[in-house]
A and B are shown apart, each in its own frame.
Chain A
């Protein structure tokens, strides 16, 4: 059974960098075709942030591209998200996904001073 678990700070200050890690269990991350991050502002819809492919290629939502980095650490079976220069608009529940069927439980990140 594939399981994903997000971890990272729940509170980030404006202008700083949001950093989250997704730990994958029950499956080797190096075997997966691609992995990704999706976010959901409180009470709103879903927004795809980006994906990283087994080749190492990354694809980011153009609306966030200049601020996003997704990377993989196969030795730890983890992949990570970094979002720089955050503002209150980046407050959301962040989900790591093994699309289309496996999602983490999500972690709420609040951007506030």
Chain B
């Protein structure tokens, strides 16, 4: 079954703690993206990666970090520097040259304890 898998579905973070959200895809897509969604707002781009071992900051990268060591994996770390981490996080992937058609995961809801 091809697609994008995000885990966990729900995640809780304590003050000062770093947490990592997992995103795995078996679609053989080159490009992967992380978006943040807050209530009443659209999706905002955090980071994106067009190829392995390369990634770029999106509009709201502060307080986040990513890695792209494998084509199928693009984990997002929410660091303690991110002061307002509570949000819904969506991972997506696309064929590099047709990147308007994003395939989305089911999301991770991150909350602060």
Do A and B form a real pair?
no
